[in-house]
Amino acid sequence: MRRRILIFAVIFLGLTFGSAYPYWIWTPKTGKWVNPKTAVKPTPKEQLDFAKSLYDIKNYEEAKREFKKVLKSFPKSFEASESQYYLGLIEEAQGNLYEAYLAYQKVIDKYPFSERIKDIIEAEYKIAERFMQGKKRKALGVNLPVENPAIEIFSKVIENSAYGPKASAAQYKLGLVLKGLLRYYEAEEAFNKVISNYPDSSWVEAAKFQIASCRAAVSKGPDYDQGASKEAKDKFEEFVQEHPEAVLSRDAEKNIEQLKEKETESNFNIALFYEKQKAYPAARVYYNAIIENNPDSKWAARALERLRVMEKKK
């Protein structure tokens, strides 16, 4: 009779829970029916080892579920910090870069004494670089909450590593991302922090060039800013004087010539405006300055031509 009751009980449980879980097993040790999908190993180490065994064979979804059991059942254990780290590895292996970053960052936020911190900062830095290089949102399969995740992630790398080996590089590349988004004033601020916070860094030289480049970009905008143009030219000239042998100095010299050309064009337009207003003395000042300061430019030839025309009007 008892045997029949047990059989009926097994059938009933199978019908009741079959749609939710594939099977249940009887554990004599506990005297209970257990679903292997929700069961947790007796110790955090056993649970972690089991999860890692699934990770090693690239059964990522099952491994993810088992790592999460460690976090839920043993949240303050060493194994919990390891499990959180492995969740980041899984997301990265599956190509979910932003989710991987979030998982890694949880290790730093919740387990700041983890031995994985150095590895995590390196991983976050590489993820930021991939976003910087144009990793597309569609390829990630998630809706990203920020314009470019590289901004958020490089900022976190700087915060996480303080004055560590990746901090100055992350600060410089944060500036590059902002510059690429045409956020020149923010980019300039980021590059200035490279110089002020990491004066001995190998990125300082490039940061100085980028500051001048940001100033130049502002001056070349639709609303020409002569003051910004002069600042940019001064900074490029300063860079060339400080680093005459640097590869970037060649680019700096090209920028100086372009800025001179833009400045000369602006002065020519000012002179032309004064001429049209019949303010001839002011127009002559500007035309003569163009000829004196940039004699080889096309604007010098035009300025000389306008001076001759004005002479005929006397």
* Number of structural domains found in the chain: 1
How high is the pLDDT of residue 300? 81
CB of 194 closer than 8 Å to CB of 207: yes
pTM: 0.69
Mean pLDDT score of the chain, rounded to an integer?
81
- pLDDT of res. 252: 64
Q: Which range has the worst mean pLDDT, 34-38, 133-137, 273-277, 298-302?
A: 34-38
The closest of 82, 152, 89, 88 to 111, measured between CA atoms, is 82
Running DSSP on this structure, what letter comes out for residue 33? E
Q: Assess if residue 203 is contained within a domain.
A: no
CA dist 71 to 13, 36, 68, 165, Å?
Answer: 29, 17, 5, 30
Q: Is residue 10 part of a domain?
A: yes
Tokens linked to 27: 């554990």
pLDDT band at 311 (very low <50, low <70, confident <90, very high): confident
- Identify whether the C-beta of residue 214 lies closer than 8 Å to the C-beta of residue 187: yes
| 231 touches 217 (CB < 8 A) | no
Q: What is the mean pLDDT of residues 206-225?
A: 77
Owning domain of residue 4: 1-39
**Structural tokens at position 173:** 């590349």
23 domain-assigned: yes
Over the Cα atoms of the chain, what is R_g? 33
* 75 belongs to a structural domain: no
- Among 1-5, 17-21, 88-92, 207-211, name the one with the lowest average pLDDT: 17-21
Would the pLDDT of 3 be above 70? no
Which of 6-15, 23-32, 220-229, 290-299: highest mean pLDDT?
290-299
- Residue in the block written with tokens 């020519």: 268
Rounded mean pLDDT, 7-12:
48
Q: Does residue 25 form part of some domain? A: yes
Tokens of 259: 């800025």
Give the residue-averaged pLDDT of 271-276: 75
- Residue 191 DSSP SS3: helix
Task: Answer yes or no: is 84 within a domain.
Answer: no
Asked if residue 309 belongs to a domain, the reply is no
Is 12 a domain residue? yes
